[in-house]
């Protein structure tokens, strides 16, 4: 079966711009989570959606937002990009979170 | 703040050697997951442990969840070059808090030389 698909794989943006990343979960998975991975901070939780509702949110500024559609596909948006937003953004989906998560390959965002 | 500390941070060993990676926290987690991540890819789930004292074996990998559900270990027997990667532990539901979010450990970068 198809895995978690994230698009685009790579992205270069300029400071001050905004960006939208997309995630298509495994078919049937209704929980979608987003994580930011950087060399300095490791993997940090951004937010989690279930049936179009945000259930959990991490400690990130309001510039980071997300949404989930009725088909469980999710997008995250970062506005007013800063150099420190350069990171690998990972999406994960789950049927039952106790069974663990399936991650996508990520979107590598570089802010210049 | 819930933190998961992994040790060692880096490990370089020869093929055939055994190794253990530790994941420690002062928080109690409802479940503990282990992932392996290769460069340019997302983490891949290896195992989930949910019961204190639980031991799970996956071929040459043995995972243990501490009795108090605050720590975990991953033991690899007869390591192979294909085991090379970043190993991450991740806790869910720390100190009775929200599930559906993972707190990741600091990571252990393993290199197995042929």
DSSP, res B25? -
Chain B contact for A101 (CB, 8 A cutoff): yes
Q: Work out the burial of residue B103: count CB atoms within 10 Å of its CB; fewer than 13 is exposed, 13-18 middle, 19 or more buried.
A: buried
Judge: A104–B107 Cβ closer than 8 Å, yes or no.
Answer: no
Q: In terms of Cα–Cα distance, which of B45, B1, B3 is closest to B24?
A: B3
Chain B contact for A58 (CB, 8 A cutoff): yes
**Cα B32 from Cα B41, distance rounded (Å):** 21
Judge: A105–B40 Cβ closer than 8 Å, yes or no.
Answer: yes
Judge: A101–B33 Cβ closer than 8 Å, yes or no.
Answer: yes
Cβ atoms of A43 and A37 within 8 Å: the answer is yes
Distance from B82 to chain A by nearest Cα, in Å?
A: 19
pLDDT tens digits for range B59-103: 999 999 999 999 999 999 999 999 999 999 999 887 777 778 899
pLDDT tens digits for range A8-66: 999 999 999 999 999 999 999 999 999 999 998 999 999 999 999 999 999 999 999 99
**Cα A8 from Cα B16, distance rounded (Å):** 39
Chain A contact for B14 (CB, 8 A cutoff): no
Minimum CA–CA partner of A50 in chain B? B100
Q: Which two tokens stand for residue A25?
A: 């979960």
Percent of chain B topping pLDDT 90: 84
Distance from A16 to chain B by nearest Cα, in Å?
A: 26
Cβ atoms of A17 and A85 within 8 Å: the answer is no
**Cα B53 from Cα B62, distance rounded (Å):** 13
Residues in chain A: 112
Question: Which of B100, B104, B106 would you mutate first to test chain A, the one with the most A CBs within 10 A?
Answer: B100
Minimum CA–CA partner of B107 in chain A? A42
Asked whether the bond before B112 is cis by omega within 30 degrees of 0, the reply is: no
Stretch B38-53: mean pLDDT:
94
Per-residue confidence (pLDDT) for residue B2, from 0 to 100: 65
Cβ atoms of B103 and B2 within 8 Å: the answer is yes
Distance from B102 to chain A by nearest Cα, in Å?
A: 7
Q: In terms of Cα–Cα distance, which of A96, A46, A51 is closest to A76?
A: A46
Judge: B40–A90 Cβ closer than 8 Å, yes or no.
Answer: no
Percent of chain B topping pLDDT 70: 97
Judge: B104–A100 Cβ closer than 8 Å, yes or no.
Answer: no
Confidence of residue A80 (pLDDT cuts 50, 70, 90): very high
**Cα A102 from Cα B44, distance rounded (Å):** 7
pLDDT tens digits for range B23-32: 999 999 989 9
Question: Which of A30, A42, A44, A55 would you mutate first to test chain B, the one with the most B CBs within 10 A?
Answer: A42
CB atoms within 10 A of CB A2: 8
Checking DSSP bridges between strand B10-14 and strand B108-113, what pairing results, if any? parallel
């Amino acid at each position: 079966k198809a895995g978690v698909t994230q698009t685009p794989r790579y992205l270069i943006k300029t400071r001050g711009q905004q960006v939208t990343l997309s995630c298509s979960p495994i078919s049937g998975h209704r929980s979608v989570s987003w994580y930011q991975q950087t060399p300095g901070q490791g993997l940090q939780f951004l937010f989690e959606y279930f049936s179009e509702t945000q259930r959990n949110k991490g400690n990130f500024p309001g510039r980071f937002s997300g949404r989930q559609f009725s088909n469980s596909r999710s997008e995250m948006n970062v506005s007013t990009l800063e150099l420190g937003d350069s990171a690998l953004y990972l999406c994960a989906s789950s049927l039952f979170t106790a069974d663990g998560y399936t991650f996508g390959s990520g979107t590598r965002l570089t802010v210049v | 703040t819930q933190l998961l500390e992994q040790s060692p941070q880096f490990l370089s060993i020869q093929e055939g050697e055994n190794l253990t990676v530790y994941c420690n926290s002062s928080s109690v987690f409802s479940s503990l997951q282990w992932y392996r991540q290769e460069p340019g890819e997302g983490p891949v789930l290896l195992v989930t442990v949910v019961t204190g004292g639980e031991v799970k074996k996956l071929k040459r990998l043995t995972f243990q969840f501490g009795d108090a559900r605050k720590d975990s270990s991953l033991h690899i027997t007869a390591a192979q070059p294909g085991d090379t990667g970043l190993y991450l532990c991740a806790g869910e539901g720390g100190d009775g808090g929200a599930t559906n979010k993972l707190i990741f450990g600091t990571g252990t970068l393993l290199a197995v030389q042929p």
